[in-house]
Amino acid sequence: MTTAIGYEFTDRENETFKGLVTGMKRAGAAVALGSTILLAYQLMQHFNVTMKGPSNSGLYYLDFGIWCLLSCVGILVAALLVKATSGFHAVIHTQGDDIQHLMSGLEKLRSIVNLIFITALVGSGMLAISFALLLSGRT
């Protein structure tokens, strides 16, 4: 087994790393935003803080639908994360071209992280809508 002592990544490979890091930061920020909204939602619901108004069954079902969609978003993110692992199997199970396999896996992970960012933003938006419905007291 040989090692790549002194190996320097190419500009293209560095761009892959840069894109991955940027995507991970954005996805992390979107997940943090959604988690903050979810925490506020749960605290408001726990302390029963709402602006009381007449109940509206249509808004209740809208809120219920949003929560069902949020569950689907969570399942999608989980599936994307599992899919991201497939790009790295060749690094573990083959010999002789690990750098190429690593870069291939990172390129796949980079695109998946961007999809996770989009799904996290969508989830955060749905949480914000549900939170607004909770605050309105009409659900």
> Is 77 in contact with 35 (CB distance < 8 Å)?
no
Each domain of the chain, given as residue ranges in start order, spans 17-136
Query: Along the 139 residues of the chain, how does pLDDT read in single tens digits?
Result: 555 577 888 999 999 999 999 999 999 999 999 999 999 988 888 887 766 666 778 888 898 999 999 999 889 888 888 888 877 888 888 888 888 888 988 988 998 899 989 999 999 999 999 998 888 876 6
Q: What is the pTM of this model?
A: 0.74
The distance of Cα 131 from the centroid of its chain, to the nearest Å, equals 19
d(CA 47, CA 43) in angstroms, rounded, equals 6
Rg, C-alpha atoms of the chain:
21
Contacts of 15-19 with CB under 8 Å at 24 or more apart are 16/103, 16/106, 16/107, 16/110, 17/106, 19/110
Q: Under a CB-based contact definition with an 8 Å cutoff, are residues 109 and 66 in contact? A: no
